[in-house]
Structure 1
């Protein structure tokens, strides 16, 4: 595994990080707890030391599963990354969207990061995770109803109390990062990034490079589509959110698969899967510190971790990019 400093913080994280959204089941058509625990353990066994979760993932379930896994892993050998600012148990802030929990019960999701809410969420996360500190604490989405200064004054208090080691943001733009930095030094921003979703390269990546902020790229496999395993006509489980996204629309699915077909010979020549090739390309991209990759079972987790063994020459990266830039999605 390769390990990278997160911004200017004292956190060193694995370039491939375990993304724990899917193991919470919510919006992913369910999940098996035993498989999830095995996936985390297999990741750690193969050098993945960083685990990224959030309370909203399964309404506490993902954090609970991570906490259970941590019982058999020395705490100082892993970095626990979690979030705050999405409440399903409190009707306050800005309504983000309506959803259903894993049992099918209707729930309303609010973006809220008021001072007392941040403190409460941290305590709840510490309890679910079974730990007395969080390595990286990130606001999940901007909360337009609360001043950014108020939110990060609370985060600063948590840092001063030793309950968190470093502060980060997620889904923040440059101006929001700058405002937060008036209160606290940010280590990183967690944002969507993949071969087919490169919006952050216009403004955010240059800013983070200049100001030495880490970038945690989530959905680097575009929620599974860049594995090459999802073809037109694929049947998803009930509750799976992916069919409604633009990347899974039939025409885009066909164009992405055509692009992946061009990469397949390169992957095969390296004894790698398409997913491993894509993960390696992602962490080679300028400004990208970490690729967050989910796994539902041990075999997926091992395959993800072994992507670090794939090596790409500058010529091979150019080959990929030349074909990638011709992919036009509708």
Structure 2
């Protein structure tokens, strides 16, 4: 497993991280708590030390699962969670409704102080390694948000600061008030928008780049059975990326990259994660079973050549250019 230093913090984290959104159940067609905990253990056993969660993943449920799973292994974990999606107040901007509760984007300092205590309790720890602002809040000055985060860092409740779902202008504003150790953005072979402006700004300011949805909600994990039906509240059932037409395009794409996959003796998912790692420091990958967690972790040992990276990108341009 390759590893990277997290911004200027000195914290060493694995290049493959475990994302826990699906473990919270919401928007993923339910959850299996036992399988989730076994998956976290499998990831740790396979060399993954970076675990990413958030209060909004099941209204605290994913955090609680992580807290249970890492008992006795806290020293093996670089633990990340988030703030800024809240249901204890109606301040900020209404974002969505989750399980009957209105969730707001809000990053006021008093709210952050409340949130971190709730997360620490659910995670059963007295510190968080990396604390992200989950989504940005246009109603609160970034100076106030950073003041709160820097205060938590001074208190020892967090070790490093990150931001998520932001553009280069927002990152630049955060950097005016203090160091940002990581930024977390959607990134995969299908989502490359951060390459032009945001990644260069991060490189110039020692900000680690974390890509989430590395497998595009599972779309890039391998050919999808045309008969598979996504049920319940699974967000993929209404996602046009998972249409029958796009699934057919995927078959052609995976056929095109098959020689590279076969040469490395890896899964398609591992190949896609390894491709992402050519541009980001940490690729976040969700898992709901131990087998998925182990497979994702294996991508951290794959080194693709420049020619292979170019061939994969070319195959995507040929076969996946219609998937938006």
Q: TM class by shorter-chain length? A: over 0.9
Structure-2-length-normalised TM-score? 0.95
In the alignment, is residue 328 of structure 1 matched against residue 321 of structure 2? yes
Structure 1-normalised TM-score?
0.94
Which of 200, 216, 219 is residue 213 of structure 2 equivalent to?
219
Alignment RMSD (CA, Å): 1.5
The total of aligned residue pairs comes to: 322
Corresponding position: 1:181 with 2:175 = yes
Mapping 1:266-285, distance limit 5 Å? 266-285=260-279
Query: Residues 85 and 140 of structure 1 are in contact (CA less than 8 Å); yes or no, is this contact kept in structure 2?
Result: yes
Deviation at 1:81, TM superposition (A): 0.4
**Residue 172 of structure 1, aligned match among 154, 166, 171:** 166
State the distance in 1 between where 2:258 and 2:88 align. 45
1:206 has 2:200 as partner: yes
Q: Matches of residues 75-224 of structure 1 in structure 2 within 5 Å?
A: 75-99=74-98, 101=99, 106-224=100-218
Once the two structures are TM-superposed, the CA of residue 177 in structure 1 deviates from its matched residue by 0.9
Shift of 1:245: 2.9
Match of 1:289 among 274, 281, 285: 281
> Aligned match of 1:251 in 225, 245, 252?
245
Q: Tell me, yes or no, if the aligned pair for 1:56 and 1:88 is still in contact at 8 Å.
A: no
Asked if 1 retains the 8 angstrom alpha-carbon contact of 2:229 and 2:237, the reply is no
254-263 or 243-252, larger mean C-alpha shift: 243-252
Question: Structure 1 residue 261: deviation in Å?
Answer: 2.2
Q: Secondary structure at the match of 2:246?
A: helix
Following the alignment from structure 2 to structure 1, what is the Cα–Cα distance between the partners of residues 248 and 181? 38
Q: SS of the residue aligned with 1:227?
A: coil
Structure 1 unaligned segments of length 5 or more: list them.
none
Moved more, 150-159 or 314-323: 314-323
